[in-house]
Amino acid sequence: MKPAEISALVKRFIQYKLTLAFAESCTAGMLPSGLVEAQGASSVLLGSIVTYHPEAKQKLLGVSKQTLEMYTAESQQVTNEMVMGLHKKIGADVCVAVTGLCAAGGSETEEKPAGTLFFTFLYQNRAEEHREVFQGDCLSVRQQAVDFVYRKLNELLDRFPPDQEKMTA
């Protein structure tokens, strides 16, 4: 996503007086890194927790050991628990979690090839899940994931009810 589009996204969050937080695994800090280039990001972004290792997912976000063992660290179930833990820790209006396989190895299978990423968006007590398969090397997959999240955040704001109490004058 281009810098102007990221700036427009941040302005929309400001317009709606909404805050944002990320729980990241495979994107390893890329989500907030791109966002903070935009003016006003400090009033929108509450923070990001990078939990690359399963143990960090457990300790920092409360992902259960059973979920990790049953579904693997690269799964929708883990992403859902990551976003719930993030919301408990940071309490942003919009919370986003991402994990997955950027490269071969790990929990890769025929049904879950390299490039498979899982996303959960939590807002207004609703969770929205996404599973995407991106092509390319690890850096390319990570960048596609970041662009996907920013695009989905814009779509989420398109559906957001224009609540006058949340709008700025």
The 3-class SS string of the chain reads CCHHHHHHHHHHHHHCCCCEEEEECCCCCHHHHHHCCCCCHHHCEEEEEECCCHHHHHHHHCCCHHHHHHHCCCCHHHHHHHHHHHHHHHCCCEEEEEEECCCCCCCCCCCCCCCEEEEEEEECCEEEEEEEECCCCHHHHHHHHHHHHHHHHHHHHHHCCCCCCCCCC
Q: Give the domain ranges of the chain.
A: 3-159
According to the model, what pLDDT value does residue 169 have?
35
Q: Record the pTM.
A: 0.91
Reported as a pLDDT band with limits 50, 70 and 90, residue 75 is very high
Decide if pLDDT at 83 tops 80. yes
According to the model, what pLDDT value does residue 167 have?
44
According to the model, what pLDDT value does residue 168 have?
42
Superfamily of domain 3-159: CinA-like (3.90.950.20)
Structure tokens at 96: 């986003």
Q: Averaged over 33-62, what is the pLDDT?
A: 95
Average per-residue pLDDT for the chain? 91
Percent above pLDDT 70 for the chain: 95
Decide if pLDDT at 166 tops 60. no
Decide if pLDDT at 146 tops 90. yes
According to the model, what pLDDT value does residue 109 have?
78
Q: Averaged over 89-115, what is the pLDDT?
A: 88
According to the model, what pLDDT value does residue 162 have?
59
